[in-house]
A and B are shown apart, each in its own frame.
Chain A
Amino acid sequence: MIIAKYILKKILTSNFIILSSFISLFFIISLVDNLNLKTNFFYVILISLLDSLSLIIIVPEVIFLFCCLCFCVLLKFSNELLIIRHYLDKKIILFFFILFILFYFLANFSKSQIDESIDQTKYSLLSENLDNFVKNKVVVTESNNDKIIYELSDIDIKGKNIGSIKIHNFKNNYFKSTLSSDNIEYNESIITLYSPTLITSKNITKVHGKYSYNLKFLTRILYSNDEILYLNNYKYVNYSYNSIVKILNFTILLITLSMVFISKKILKNNLITFVYTLLCLILIIYNFMINFINVQFFGILFISLGIFINLTIFLYFYIDD
């Protein structure tokens, strides 16, 4: 129990050291970039802090690698790692790491939501300087065989105004109608179009009166940094084949990283630590690449090969200890 507490304390310390050092570095970089913002200096500091957080969230696997390395080095200097490995089974140490892996996993999994909240907070702080906003957006919603494309132009968040809107309706992949208006009102989730023009494949009519459209997550859409948004992605987390593969790869990668830095081989000499760290970096870069490269042919083979390589490396480190 004492050793368990000690290990947990050390993992926590290494996480704290690495996170605080990276936050301070990213903070300085962001501060230098944000000084040109036309806002109060206190807000500049807050925005830089938020920027540094969003930069960290982009690369949780790299941060985790340095946390593991820091944990290993902290315990290696005083030979504590050797003692711990003597008394505790690798699986138990790995279990402690799993708790932290869970934290990084959640950070990675909810990356876009965290990023979005950071953006919203940033923009609410920047209420005086809204030049950076995306002023034109395209929102796509799909249900069964219906597809609706909303074209929002000249969005003015400060004045709570949308310049014009065009709503294109498609059914079974064919054009059905377009509704356009320059006189719009909106609240949290409803857009009201006054005197819109309705264009169908047969005629064009000016409609007198108002049309109301229920567009959920409208505030999030307006504050988002993206120009093209898919509303279906907001409604539910899309557990597509690709995201399951990404989650699987990410989890295997983090477990492998933690296993590398508690292995007995790493205790032998510094050169092995150096080589293992380089290997881990290459493994992380490889994982970045398999997440971003979309192959046109042999896609399934490419993805399966990625998982297979990750699993092989994981098994190698597990068995070879």
Chain B
Amino acid sequence: MLPRYLIYNYIKNLTIFLFSFLITIWASQTIRLLEIGVSYNDLFEIVYLTVLLIPSYIINIFHLILIFSVFFLNYKFNNTNELFIISQYVKRKLISKNFLVINTIIFLILIINSEYISQHLYKDYKQKEVELRSEFKVQVQNSKREFKLDDHFVIFFDKFEDDIFFNPKAIIFSDDLLVESENAKITYNDNKINLEFYNGSRVSSSKKEKSITNFLKFNFFIENNSEEIVYPDKESFSVYELLKQDDKKLNVAGHSKIINYILILIVLINIHRVVNTVNLKNQTNFRNLKLLIFMLTFIIANSFLNKILTLYTINNLIYYCINIILLILLQLGIWKTYDYS
């Protein structure tokens, strides 16, 4: 009963921490996209797109989420003296066994997420992104009184109503033109966006031509030539696929993913030690902080190795040797920090 209670709390904390951090990451990514004003600024579309990205973040931060959740669990158990009671009635071996079973399940779920679900969703994200780029979905915000379409043009206007810009001043980058008129109508069909300016003047100040012309009607259109090709990132592949890639960056991402799995495995193996640490002489916080520093140091060192592996400064063998030495040192550090004796 007691080990089950311990496991239940562990899972509860892990879930809460995982979702809290993911929600924050999701919110910050969504707001960043909204603030920089992506061209397809449909709020719900962006929310949906960023949700598709979330599973691919898990693999990179899971080790930290794990240790944060067990730090918290340990703090809670120590404060309520539950840990003391549990240690009186349950053998450490039994707790370790229970943790082993649940951690194996967690690790399997993580692998399924990182090797299948996240890639599947990431591919959807890339596909959707390309689709959105390729279709002209123009939404003009009246409050901003400015509308920019990629590198094609920018229009400053007083009012926008029923697809008509009032008092527009447009800079057309591709033709080096400034167009100002009484009003302008925007129309779009499948592959074309059309701007019709009425009663105005067009100023050309390019190197080839310097001119000013008054017009009753001036027409400008752009065709959508964007390619509908999905260029994959490291998130689009499984470890096996990454290792087969010729691109060095993708290849290194595969090796880095393997090391990440090993790191998560080490953290999972040692979780029960952290949870089980009784707070004698108020030493736990210091121990936990030490573990956090060890982890961060390893992550930075691993990133450095990834960088120099990409630059061909070291080969794969040296990369793995150094990483394994670092992982052994990390394990020794954890043993020393959470020494039961």
Q: Which residues of A contact B (CB under 8 A)?
A: 21-22, 24-26, 28-29, 31-32, 35-36, 41, 44-45, 55-56, 58-59, 62-63, 66, 73-74, 77-78, 136, 138, 140, 147, 149, 151, 166, 168, 170, 173-175, 178, 180, 182, 197, 199-201, 204, 225, 227-228, 242, 281, 284-285, 288-289, 292-294, 296
Which residues of chain B come closer than 8 Å to A138, judged between CB atoms?
A: 154, 171
- In the complex, A204 Cα to B169 Cα: how many Å? 20
- The residue in chain A whose Cβ has the minimal distance to the Cβ of B35 is A58
Q: Which of A151, A175, A199, A204 has the most CB of B within 10 A?
A: A175
* B171–A59 CB distance below 8 A: no
Which residues of chain B come closer than 8 Å to A26, judged between CB atoms?
A: 25, 28
* A29–B212 CB distance below 8 A: no
* B304–A77 CB distance below 8 A: no
User: Is B92 on the interface with A (CB-CB < 8 A)?
Assistant: no
* B142–A77 CB distance below 8 A: no
* A28–B34 CB distance below 8 A: no
User: Measured between C-beta atoms, what is the minimum distance from A283 to chain B in Å?
Assistant: 13
Given A62-B27, A77-B79, list of 8 further CB < 8 A pairs? A35-B303, A35-B307, A41-B307, A44-B303, A55-B32, A62-B24, A199-B211, A285-B27
- The residue in chain A whose Cβ has the minimal distance to the Cβ of B144 is A294
User: Is B84 on the interface with A (CB-CB < 8 A)?
Assistant: no
* B173–A136 CB distance below 8 A: yes
Which residues of chain A come closer than 8 Å to B25, judged between CB atoms?
A: 25-26, 29
Chain B 123-147, CB within 8 Å of chain A: the 1/0 string?
Answer: 0000000000000000001110010
- The residue in chain B whose Cβ has the minimal distance to the Cβ of A66 is B20
User: Measured between C-beta atoms, what is the minimum distance from B262 to chain A in Å?
Assistant: 16
* A170–B169 CB distance below 8 A: yes
- The residue in chain B whose Cβ has the minimal distance to the Cβ of A57 is B28
- A294 and B156 contact, Cβ closer than 8 Å, known pairs A29-B60, A31-B299, A41-B307: no
Please report the total number of B residues contacting A with Cβ < 8 Å: 57
* B80–A77 CB distance below 8 A: yes
- In the complex, A285 Cα to B47 Cα: how many Å? 11
- The residue in chain B whose Cβ has the minimal distance to the Cβ of A201 is B212
- The residue in chain B whose Cβ has the minimal distance to the Cβ of A274 is B16
Chain B 55-76, CB within 8 Å of chain A: the 1/0 string?
Answer: 0010011001100100010011
* A78–B43 CB distance below 8 A: no
* A31–B24 CB distance below 8 A: no
- The residue in chain A whose Cβ has the minimal distance to the Cβ of B21 is A25
- The residue in chain A whose Cβ has the minimal distance to the Cβ of B201 is A175
Can you spell out 17 A-B residue pairs with CB atoms less than 8 angstroms apart? A21-B64, A26-B25, A59-B24, A59-B27, A63-B24, A66-B24, A74-B75, A149-B156, A166-B205, A173-B158, A178-B205, A180-B205, A182-B207, A197-B210, A199-B210, A228-B146, A228-B154
- The residue in chain B whose Cβ has the minimal distance to the Cβ of A281 is B23
User: Is B249 on the interface with A (CB-CB < 8 A)?
Assistant: yes
- A29 and B61 contact, Cβ closer than 8 Å, known pairs A35-B306, A35-B310: yes
From A29, A204, A242, A288, give the contact of B27 (CB < 8 A).
A288
- In the complex, A41 Cα to B141 Cα: how many Å? 42
* A168–B146 CB distance below 8 A: no
- In the complex, A140 Cα to B167 Cα: how many Å? 16
User: Measured between C-beta atoms, what is the minimum distance from B337 to chain A in Å?
Assistant: 18
Which residues of chain A come closer than 8 Å to B64, judged between CB atoms?
A: 21, 24-25, 28
Which residues of chain B come closer than 8 Å to A44, judged between CB atoms?
A: 303, 307
Query: What 5 A-B pairs are tightest by C-beta distance, nearest first?
Result: A180-B205, A77-B79, A58-B28, A294-B143, A59-B28
* B300–A45 CB distance below 8 A: yes
* A170–B180 CB distance below 8 A: yes
- A294 and B142 contact, Cβ closer than 8 Å, known pairs A151-B171, A204-B210: yes
- A36 and B249 contact, Cβ closer than 8 Å, known pairs A44-B307, A204-B211: yes
- The residue in chain B whose Cβ has the minimal distance to the Cβ of A20 is B292
- A31 and B205 contact, Cβ closer than 8 Å, known pairs A59-B27, A77-B75, A168-B178: no
- A58 and B32 contact, Cβ closer than 8 Å, known pairs A41-B307, A199-B212: yes
User: Is B148 on the interface with A (CB-CB < 8 A)?
Assistant: yes
User: Is B31 on the interface with A (CB-CB < 8 A)?
Assistant: yes
- In the complex, A248 Cα to B143 Cα: how many Å? 19
- A28 and B212 contact, Cβ closer than 8 Å, known pairs A228-B146, A288-B27, A294-B142: no
User: Measured between C-beta atoms, what is the minimum distance from A67 to chain B in Å?
Assistant: 12
User: Is B296 on the interface with A (CB-CB < 8 A)?
Assistant: yes
- The residue in chain A whose Cβ has the minimal distance to the Cβ of B167 is A173
Which residues of chain A come closer than 8 Å to B36, judged between CB atoms?
A: 225
* A31–B142 CB distance below 8 A: no
User: Is B203 on the interface with A (CB-CB < 8 A)?
Assistant: yes
Chain B 1-42, CB within 8 Å of chain A: the 1/0 string?
Answer: 000000000000000000011011101101110111000000
Which residues of chain A come closer than 8 Å to B68, judged between CB atoms?
A: 21
From A21, A149, A281, A292, give the contact of B43 (CB < 8 A).
A292
- In the complex, A21 Cα to B292 Cα: how many Å? 10
- A28 and B299 contact, Cβ closer than 8 Å, known pairs A58-B28, A199-B212: yes
- A59 and B143 contact, Cβ closer than 8 Å, known pairs A31-B299, A180-B205, A182-B207: no
